[in-house]
Amino acid sequence: MEYKEPFGVKLDFESGIIENAKKLVRKLSDMKGYYVDEEAYEKLLKEDPIIYEVYAVEQEEKDGDLNFATTVLYPGKVGSEFFMTKGHYHSKADRAEVYFALKGKGGMLLQTPEGEARWIPMEPGTIVYVPPYWAHRTINTGDEPFIFLALYPADAGHDYGTIKEKGFSKIVVEENGEVVVKDNPKWTE
C-alpha cells in the first residue's frame, strides 16, 4: 500500500491566505449575468474590481479524500446587490460540504434543484453544513472582507451551469441600510 504523506499548512486568519495554496481570482468581469442590475454591472465594470479570491488545497478527484479552501470575499455591491460568489451545485450532486466563518460578516444562500432557498447568516465562528444536493453561494453583507474556510470531498467537483443560467430564486440586497433577502425578479422555474 502506498500511503499519502500527511501535512500541516498555515492559514493566516487576518488575510485568509493558506500557504502554498492554489490561488484563484474572480473579478467582476468573470461574473457577467450573475447580478440582477445589469446597468450597475456595466458601470462598475470600468473598474472591474476583484470580487473574491480562493486559496485551495486540493487532492486528486478521488472518492474518500478531502479538499479545503479559504475564500476572501470583498465588500461591495452591484446596484443594491451585495458582492457574492458564483455559487454552484457539486458535479457529484450528493456530496456535502462544511463552511467555517473566520472574519467579517455575511451569509450563505442555499437552494435545492426545485428552487427552495435558505439564507444562513454567518459571522466568525459560524459553521454551516451544506447538505447533499443543495447549491450554495456566499455573500458579503458587511464592510470588510468576509473570510471563511470550506471543506469538501475531493471528488465533489463544481457544477456552475445551472446557477449561471438561472441564478438563485432569492437575492440579497441592501434596502434602507438593512440586509434584505428577497425574491429574484429574474427567477424562472
Ligand X SMILES: O=P(O)(O)OC[C@H]1O[C@H](O)[C@H](O)[C@@H](O)[C@@H]1O
Contacting residue, 72, 122, 150, 173, with ligand X by CB under 6 A: 150
Dihedral (C-alpha) 98, 102, 107, 110: value to the nearest 10 degrees? Answer: -10
- Name the minimum Å distance from CB 3 to Fe ion: 27
Residues 156-175 that bind ligand X (CB under 6 A): 158
Contacting residue, 28, 36, 44, 69, with ligand X by CB under 6 A: 69
Residue whose CB is less far from Fe ion, 18 or 173: 18
- Name the minimum Å distance from CB 2 to ligand X: 27
SS (H, E, C) the chain: CCCCCCCCCCECCCCCCECCCEEEEEEHHHHCCCCCCHHHHHHHCCCCCEEEEEEEECCCCCCCCEEEEEEEECCCEECCEECECCCEECCCCCCCEEEEEEECCEEEEEECCCCCEEEEEECCCCEEEECCCCEEEEEECCCCCEEEEEEEECCCCCECHHHHHHCCCEEEEEECCEEEEEECCCCCC
Residues 71-130 that bind ligand X (CB under 6 A): 71, 85-88
- Name the minimum Å distance from CB 69 to ligand X: 4
Contacting residue, 54, 72, 139, 173, with ligand X by CB under 6 A: 54
- Name the minimum Å distance from CB 87 to Fe ion: 9
Q: Does 18 bind ligand X (CB under 6 A)?
A: no
State the binding partner of 155 from Fe ion, ligand X, none, CB within 5 to 8 A by kind: none
What residues line the site for ligand X (CB under 6 A)? Answer: 54, 69, 71, 85-88, 150, 152, 158
